[in-house]
Amino acid sequence: MRKYIACLALVESAIGFGSYFLGVMVRFSGDLAAADHLVGNLLPRSAAFTLVLMVALVSAGLYRSRQRVLLVGIILRLGAAVIAAGLADATVYYLFPSVETGRGAQALALGAALVGLAIARLAFYRIVDSRLFKRKILIYGHGSAAASLARQCAEIGRRSFEIAGFVIAAGEQSRAECTPLLVSSTPLLELARQHHIDEVVVAMDNRRESFPTRDLLDCRMAGLKVSESATFLEREGGKIDVGVLQPSWLIFGNGFRQGTLDRIVKRTFDVSASLVLLMVTLPIWTMAAAAIYIESKGKGSVFLRQSRVGLHGQLFSMLKLRSMILEAESDGRARWASAADPRITRVGAIIRRFRIDELPQIVNILKGEMSFVGPRPERPQFVETLRHQIPFYQERHCIKPGLAGWAQLCYPYASSIDDARQKLYYDLFYVKNHGPIFDLLILVQTLEVVIWGRSRSVESPPAATPADTTPQRVKTKVAGL
């Protein structure tokens, strides 16, 4: 799916570039020489217009591979992104009058971009959702591992692939989720050819006794892609399922970069971005702190310090704006908190919705205790419980925790151990694949949370499991997060 999203981004970049030229030409009645004389060099201006437009589209969440495709929602987001791009351009023109294009040409360019983007989006979804562009996969296995893979595929959506069927593996107990079963006495390669399979995904419960080495090798040598279920989910879902993960996959797999150069680049970015964000948001801090002080009638501190688990399990004191009543944890016990938690104040509900309460963590970033992007730091009481119940939980602490993160974009706030396990899937994906480009994409998409006040991901959370203690999953978060 990612390559289709990349193609869409290239097409929409070309639309933005062309829309600028179209707006200028219409404004000057097709006289490109006059436009160039009055406006200036059009190429760099068109490139700047396109860059601002693309940032706005990314910030509106329009390049997410798992977003719900609803026509009205897509059009509204496109409109909001184009308006935001127009406002950003206006700000640039105000600060730098010498690069101004003109209100008429700018309005025409934005209108042309909106129409072009809407047409491109409609064509894109119609093409991508067609069977022609979907890869057919065959899952080798029909036990608990294969059933888990089937559930995960249903959660992440199947826009870039379809499951042709499951092949029975020796010694496994069949699960109802593994349908349709492809029962055949023919070799695996012939079966794959009969069903026009593009990829074989191995999801076996027990690989020691009856691993089909010869069959899978034949498929690989014939040009078919052969993947482990963990690798497949990492690629298609942007997460790593610890339930089907083998330690050898982590040991011998690519990623998990921790080189000196990587750390220097990340730290340089953290300090630079923190200083910029500090200058931009300091007035917001002041207003929020004043509102908290007034609401609490001057009692207590407007800031809150909480012990969190950081790099390599070391504790640090995380700074936040207080969003709960002073007696929120008067008995000293850490509690899970819900969106409708009565401990949250009226001001607290507002600053939590737009993540204003998290802004003081810029101080933690400047001190080197946190990074701009990384797994969210948890309270030590929760970590002590989770590390005993969730495999590979400690591995999320091999890099610094972050203000923003991949898990926050892809999954709702954690309110249970099961939620923490699901978020760990995304945290491990980030730990394995983190880098400057990935960090930048996460930060730009995090703007959507702030702009839209969104408190849950575009991906639907999984259905409640029997381990859940509440009859219906609600949007919740760990106390203090």
Domain, as residue range, for 45: 2-128
| CATH code for the domain in which residue 213 is found | 3.40.50.720
Residue 140 domain flag: yes
Residue 360: the pLDDT is 94
Among the ranges 361-365, 440-444, 446-450, 451-455, which has the highest mean pLDDT value?
361-365
Q: What is the mean pLDDT of residues 149-163?
A: 84
Residue 244 domain flag: no
Residue 460 has pLDDT above 60, yes or no: no
Same domain, 182 and 62: no
Same domain, 15 and 34: yes
Under the banding of pLDDT at 50, 70 and 90, the label for residue 411 is: confident
Q: What is the mean pLDDT of residues 288-311?
A: 91
Containing 385, the helix (H) or strand (E) segment is helix 380-389
Containing 77, the helix (H) or strand (E) segment is helix 71-95
Same domain, 175 and 152: yes
Under the banding of pLDDT at 50, 70 and 90, the label for residue 35 is: low
- At CA 365, angle to CA 266 and CA 476, rounded to 5? 105
Which pTM does this prediction carry? 0.73
Which range among 54-68, 248-262, 342-356 shows the weakest confidence by mean pLDDT?
54-68
- At CA 7, angle to CA 5 and CA 8, rounded to 5? 60
Interatomic CA distance for residues 341 and 327, integer angstroms: 13
List the structure tokens of 404.
């923003």
Same domain, 69 and 146: no
Residue 472: the pLDDT is 34
- Domain count of the chain? 3
Instruction: Decide which of 63, 96, 128 is a domain's last residue.
Output: 128
Phi and psi dihedrals of 323, rounded to 5? -120, 0
Residue 222 has pLDDT above 60, yes or no: yes
Residue 252 domain flag: no
Instruction: Decide which of 61, 96, 128 is a domain's last residue.
Output: 128
For residue 391, the 8-state DSSP code is T
- 397, 312 contact by CB (below 8 A): yes
Residue 332: the pLDDT is 60
Hey, CA dihedral for 21, 24, 29, 33, is it positive or negative?
A: negative
Same domain, 22 and 111: yes
Residue 397 domain flag: yes
Strands 161-167 and 371-373: unpaired
Under the banding of pLDDT at 50, 70 and 90, the label for residue 298 is: confident
